[in-house]
Each structure stands twice: as structure tokens, then as C-alpha cells.
Amino acid sequence: MPTITDTQKISRRVQNTIAAGQTLSFSGYSNTFYIISTTGQLRIKTNTGISALYDGKKGVKTYEGNPFDVLEVSNETTQAITFDLFYGFGEFIDNSNTNTGATDTVSTNLAIVATGVPQLLADSDASRSEIWLWTDETNNLAWWAESAARLASPANYQKIGQNLDGFTKLKTKAPIWVVAAAGVNIGGIILK
């Protein structure tokens, strides 16, 4: 297998239904696959020799030097199976349970369309326990900082959506400023 650059590494989530007796093929350099959920048992096979039956909440992470670039999902049953699958580099972090504590409740959902210049997404809030930032920019070219001035220097800001589920989770009570190319959607979920 050739050396893989960071630009060739992918992370994808596939939600699909596979008919009885059928096989679906997915491509892209990966070292991980994980069945998030499935309505039946699936055979997962890679072009590097992995082949086994998997239920939901199971998967494989290969050694860094042993990636695969073809993933086949087969339904060996007599019924159609609906599945939710992650494959790529890194690992899947299931944050589908948004209850981060007994006292946390979703207080506000924020959303803006970026204009290309720093914008205030959320004011400072002493009662905020967390704010989860998201963006629809697939290349992670949206950034946040705790002041507009900090967005002027790349050393002072962070990318939004650095983890696999696309959220950046912050435990700050400071204001949140964001910037991205014009037209990019950026949002936040405030927990109190």
C-alpha cells in the first residue's frame, strides 16, 4: 500500500439500507470502521483481509501502517438491513446522547450565515455550562475565538468541528466569535 498523505485520509458516515443477499462497496483510505447501528448482522470485508460478521456498536481499527481502501458491506440474511456506518481515519465518537449532566438543558440554538469577517455568535454568559459549535463547512475552514481581535491571528483561534461528529464542545462563559468564508453556516447549542 502506498504512503498515504493527510489529504487522502477520509472520514465518512453512511446511512443506508441493503437488500437481502446484496453487497455494497465503499472506497477511501481508512484505518477504522464502526457500525453505529444496524437492524441485522452485516459481513464487513476490507481489501486487506478483514472479513467478519458484525452487529451494532462494533468495528475495527487497524494498525496505522495497515490501512484499507475498499470496504464491502454484505447482507447475508433474507431480510433488508438498515445500517449506520462510520469509516475513515481516527475513531468514531458517539455523542448521540446530548445529556451531559443531570442539570444541563438545551437553552438556546444559535445559527448564522458567515459573512467572511468575524461575527459574534454568543454573548458572555455566566450561567452557561457548555456551548457546542458546529459548521457545515466540510473542510473545517471555520474558526472560533473568545474575541474578534483574536480572530485576526491564526495562532489565537481554533477550528470548528475538529472531532468526527462535527461539534466543538467548549466550557467557556466568554463571548464566542466566529469567522468563515461568506455563505458557510455556523451554529451553536448552549447548555445551561
Q: What percent of the chain has pLDDT over 70?
A: 72
Sheet strands (E) in the chain: 11-18, 23-30, 32-38, 42-46, 51-54, 58-61, 68-74, 81-88, 106-113, 119-122, 130-135, 142-145, 158-159, 167-170, 176-180, 185-191
Per-residue confidence (pLDDT) for residue 151, from 0 to 100 = 74
Per-residue confidence (pLDDT) for residue 7, from 0 to 100 = 52
Higher pLDDT, 176 or 154: 176
Q: Comparing 40-49, 74-83, 123-132, which segment has the lowest mean pLDDT?
A: 123-132
The residue extents of the domains of the chain are 6-88, 106-191
> What are 12-69's pLDDT values in tens digits?
888 889 999 999 998 877 888 888 889 999 999 988 877 888 888 777 877 666 788 8
Q: Look at the domain 106-191 and name its fold.
A: Jelly Rolls (2.60.120)
Whether 6-88 and 106-191 share one fold: the answer is yes
CATH of 6-88, one of 1.10.3720.10, 3.40.50.2300, 2.60.40.10, 2.60.120.10: 2.60.120.10
